[in-house]
């Protein structure tokens, strides 16, 4: 090679290095450890008055105000290795129903085309029991809600969609870190008798009867700026019981609030706000009620106590996270008709093939969970099993035989359509470097979760997967899933296992199939898509007809004012003549403001999403509304002059239009 060619190659090499250094950081293929990450958050608080809540199944438990607003928290992750992108959402909802995912997908398709699909979107619910219901397309979940409620559904779908759009526009070059550790004294097994039915040798492999591990992903921008986190920890958000009527995100929402506000997120629609998702895992038999069942008086305090424990553990894991996540992103998704899955002996442990059953709920389902929310129906209790009583002579003997120990109460799977419950359910596995997320459309008990994690880990370990997490209550909702042994005792969880005693074995079989396709980089059968029920919805909600005030009173007038002075630790109260809260939901806004007088004027210091405030709506007569606002004055609050504001909209009887109004308390001292 001549000297001229050597010089030419040398300068070309220098030019290459210069181009690499000056390249856009989003285009440099540092695929060994860097990802693209976007975070987004949005308000999904539904109607706060007269809508039955989703969770405890009690028609009389209707919304009557707000303790804490509900949020959708979204993360978009893209690998710089294989360019694959995935969306993870944790929403402050009781469940994610198929209708919600379908609605979100439709909106995303209109905006982004085929960028986001059923395959690469994972929507998960934290499982709060204190939010408005009516957003499913299935009768079973809307029955106690008085049917489908379009306004609730639209707020949820639009809010989740908006959080994903925000994440999409925030996407940036980022580093991921993974950390995990045990969180003790924040949960207990609420069905220990059922758990003890599992084989002793299997139980002896684990030191605890619930999953105590919190696994956390930390996201840091390319410039070192914190972006957010998501962690998975198994515990029910049921500290707030069925006597509550204020919308709240319970313990997990409170943990998110603590972390986000600590990181400077003030919920003011800032596009790059820090997002902290405390997501759900295998919580099927895991209760937060260490003090006994919710009593209606200490519920919020208990929710905050469990929320603080999760926050403190997440903070410690976040601060010490130093293991970078490396590798690619991948995913597989398949629908399976669970009403008739043939289960091979490899998975059932039986000598012959067995099958899942058309969906049915048992008598123990109607009893509820004693520890978290008993139904108090006198003829139902946990542990009711088939004993050839009169209920065994009901007109579905074949179905009863398939469900074995379960006393069939509601044979929802015998419906000729899927109007009652969904039968084609999604199975999705997402991998992020060495982490695999298994999306479950049901609530999985502790041992159930352990078996699923082992099944998926066995398939994916050869391709570098070291950790498997259950992403509970994701993409759809079909009740609970227990082990075969737990099912036989028919506690609440077993009575709520829709597809019979072999449901877990069937899921392990199908999850193994999906994981194998992911491992081998092969496509997977998409399976039968769920039936579209959007045009078959019924609603029995009357809505708001009109608002009035008593003679001589205007909207926003004070009924009972605050005192003139308080000390930190006391609670300020004020009530107004107002209007129905459902006239305007104040999404990304607030029905109330706590304001402090400064030399520059009044400034807001608290809103209806802050846990020290509550707003309660109460109907007075036919068309009057009383609005009660409380502010539990924090111990560290600045001394000064404060006031409480309320804003709302009233509906006119004649024009049917709504009109804004506002009211404010007297000024009072805090000292």
Q: Which residues are catalytic?
A: 287
By the 10 Å C-beta count (0-12 exposed, 13-18 middle, 19+ buried), 12 is classed as exposed
Q: Longest Cα pair distance anywhere in the chain, in angstroms?
A: 103
In the sheet that holds 435-439, the strands lie side by side as 329-337, 424-432, 435-439, 467-471
Give the DSSP letter of residue 650.
E
Rounded Cα distance, 590 and 578, in Å: 15
CB 113 within 8 Å of CB 96? no
Instruction: Return phi, psi of residue 492, to 5°.
Output: -50, -45
Dump the DSSP string for 129-151: SSEE----SSHHHHGGGTB--HH
**Cα–Cα–Cα angle for 344, 334, 462, rounded to 5 degrees:** 70
Residues paired with residue 598 on neighbouring β-strands, in sequence order = 601
SS3 of 118, please?
coil
Q: If we measure between CA atoms, which residue out of 525, 578, 338, 441 comes closest to residue 96?
A: 441
Within 403-524, where are the H helices?
A: 446-460, 484-487, 492-495, 503-519
Look up residue 261 and give its two tokens.
């506000």
Computed over its alpha carbons, how large is the radius of gyration of the chain? 26
Q: If we measure between CA atoms, which residue out of 98, 228, 108, 87 comes closest to residue 161?
A: 108
Give the DSSP letter of residue 73.
E
Q: If we measure between CA atoms, which residue out of 146, 46, 134, 63 comes closest to residue 542?
A: 146
- Residue with the two structure tokens 């800032």: 270
Instruction: Return phi, psi of residue 229, to 5°.
Output: -155, 160
Rounded Cα distance, 374 and 492, in Å: 10
CB 101 within 8 Å of CB 161? no
Give the DSSP letter of residue 402.
H
Q: If we measure between CA atoms, which residue out of 224, 235, 240 comes closest to residue 297?
A: 240
CB 40 within 8 Å of CB 220? no
């Amino acid at each position: 090679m001549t000297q001229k060619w050597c010089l030419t190659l040398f300068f070309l090499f220098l030019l290459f290095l210069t181009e690499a250094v000056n390249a856009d950081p989003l285009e440099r293929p540092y695929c060994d450890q860097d990802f693209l990450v976007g975070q987004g958050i949005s308000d999904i608080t539904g109607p706060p008055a007269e809508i039955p809540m989703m969770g405890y199944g009690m028609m009389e438990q209707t919304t009557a105000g707000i303790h804490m607003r509900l949020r959708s928290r979204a993360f978009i992750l893209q690998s710089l290795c294989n360019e694959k992108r995935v969306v993870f959402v944790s929403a402050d909802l009781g469940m994610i129903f198929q209708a919600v995912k379908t609605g979100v997908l439709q909106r995303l398709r209109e905006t982004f085309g085929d960028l986001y699909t059923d395959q690469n979107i994972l929507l998960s619910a934290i499982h709060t029991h204190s939010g408005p219901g009516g957003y499913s397309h299935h009768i079973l979940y809307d029955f106690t809600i008085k049917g489908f409620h379009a306004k609730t559904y639209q707020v949820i779908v639009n809010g989740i969609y908006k959080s994903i759009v925000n994440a999409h526009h925030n996407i940036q070059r980022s580093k991921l870190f993974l950390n995990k550790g045990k969180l003790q004294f924040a949960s207990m097994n609420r069905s220990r008798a059922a758990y003890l039915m599992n084989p002793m040798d299997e139980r002896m492999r684990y030191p605890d009867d619930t999953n105590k591990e919190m696994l956390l992903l930390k996201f840091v921008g390319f410039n070192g700026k914190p972006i957010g986190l998501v962690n998975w920890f198994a515990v029910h958000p049921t500290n707030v019981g069925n006597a509550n009527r204020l919308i709240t995100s319970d313990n997990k929402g409170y943990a998110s609030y603590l972390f986000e506000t600590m990181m400077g997120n003030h919920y003011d629609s800032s596009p790059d706000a820090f997002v902290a998702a405390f997501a759900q895992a295998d919580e099927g038999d895991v209760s937060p009620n260490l003090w006994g069942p919710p009593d209606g008086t200490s519920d919020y305090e208990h929710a905050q106590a469990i929320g603080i424990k999760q926050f403190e553990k997440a903070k410690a894991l976040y601060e010490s996270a130093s293991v970078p996540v490396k590798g690619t992103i991948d995913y597989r998704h398949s629908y399976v008709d669970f009403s008739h899955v043939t289960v091979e002996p490899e998975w059932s442990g039986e000598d012959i093939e067995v099958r899942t059953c058309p969906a049915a709920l048992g008598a123990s389902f109607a009893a509820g969970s004693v520890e978290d929310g008993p139904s108090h129906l006198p003829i139902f209790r946990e542990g009711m099993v088939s004993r050839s009583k009169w209920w065994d002579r009901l007109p579905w003997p074949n179905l009863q035989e398939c469900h074995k120990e379960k006393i069939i109460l509601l044979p929802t799977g015998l419906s000729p359509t899927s109007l009652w419950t969904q039968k084609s359910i999604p199975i999705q596995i997402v991998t992020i470097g060495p982490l695999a997320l298994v999306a479950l459309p049901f609530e999985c008990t502790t041992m159930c979760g352990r078996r699923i994690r082992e099944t998926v880990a066995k398939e994916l370990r050869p391709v570098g997967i070291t950790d498997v997490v259950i992403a509970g209550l994701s993409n759809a909702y079909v009740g609970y899933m227990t082990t075969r042994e737990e099912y036989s005792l028919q506690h609440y969880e077993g009575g709520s296992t829709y597809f019979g005693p072999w449901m877990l074995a069937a899921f392990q079989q199908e999850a193994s199939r999906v994981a194998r396709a992911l491992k081998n980089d092969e496509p997977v059968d998409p399976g039968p898509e769920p039936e579209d029920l959007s045009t078959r919805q019924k609603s029995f909600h009357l809505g708001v007809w009109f608002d009035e005030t008593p003679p001589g009173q205007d909207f926003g007038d004070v009924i009972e004012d605050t005192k003139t002075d308080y000390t930190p630790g006391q609670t300020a109260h004020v009530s107004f003549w107002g209007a129905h809260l459902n006239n305007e939901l104040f999404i990304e806004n607030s029905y109330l403001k706590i304001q402090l007088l400064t030399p520059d004027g009044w400034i807001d210091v608290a809103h209806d999403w802050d846990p020290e405030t509550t707003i309660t709506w109460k109907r007075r007569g036919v068309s009057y509304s009383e609005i009660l606002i409380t502010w539990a004055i924090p111990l560290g609050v600045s001394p000064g002059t404060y006031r409480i504001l309320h804003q709302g909209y009233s509906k006119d009887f004649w024009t049917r239009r709504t009109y804004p109004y506002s009211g404010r308390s007297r000024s009072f001292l805090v000292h």
